[in-house]
Amino acid sequence: MGEKTEKLLSILKLQPVVPVLIVDDVKSGVLLARALVAGGLKAIEITMRTPAALDTVRAVAQEVEGAEVGAGTILDAKQWDAAIAAGSKFVVSPGATQELLDAASASPVPLLPGAATASEVMALREEGYKVLKFFPAEQAGGAAYLKALSSPLAGTLFCPTGGISLKNANDYLSLPNVICVGGSWVAPKELVAAGDWGGITKLASEAAALKA
């Protein structure tokens, strides 16, 4: 587990913000990934919420130089296997089940599992996980909640995701137990629809300049 933790940390430490993307077609997904990488956001999470998601992970892994692409919203072992086969460098889940943890333990690819309570964090620590996704961050108590966990659950690092924007990102990034945040604001639907890749690169540059 130690080696996988280091692998995951090396990806998450690339930048203070990991883009969390919902993609509708492969072509725009590749162009979007290129725009984000150009702005300094190399680690990219593509969520498995659309029919095009898996093919987009595969295309980004093969075609976008500098990208560290991960698959998000992975819920079970079948989805895990598909994500790994598509070339995911890391996998993100909103929570954790034993089935998913078993699939992850048999793979060299690191998992960033989600947790929202102290008990969930403790259960994942028992499984060897030291780096977790705090989800849904704002709805589960926000930066104040996560700060309260930092002392009793020392040694656990988080990537908060859910309701995070440029406006409140620093509230999380200033916490000692936060390594980065996940956010969708760097890829607004209207800019993607308009093909405004320059605008997305600008948003990515602003996000990359935040202090983790």
Q: Which of 4, 42, 89, 133 is catalytic?
A: 133
Q: What's the rounded Cα separation, in Å, for the pair 206 and 188?
A: 14
The answer to whether 133 touches 158, Cβ cutoff 8 Å, is yes
Q: Which of 4, 45, 68, 138 is catalytic?
A: 45
Q: What's the rounded Cα separation, in Å, for the pair 63 and 42?
A: 13
Q: What's the rounded Cα separation, in Å, for the pair 208 and 36?
A: 10
User: Does the active-site annotation cover 45?
Assistant: yes
Q: What's the rounded Cα separation, in Å, for the pair 153 and 177?
A: 9
H/E run at residue 72: strand 68-72
Give the CA dihedral 172, 178, 179, 185, nearest 10 degrees: -30
Point out the residues that are catalytic: 45, 133
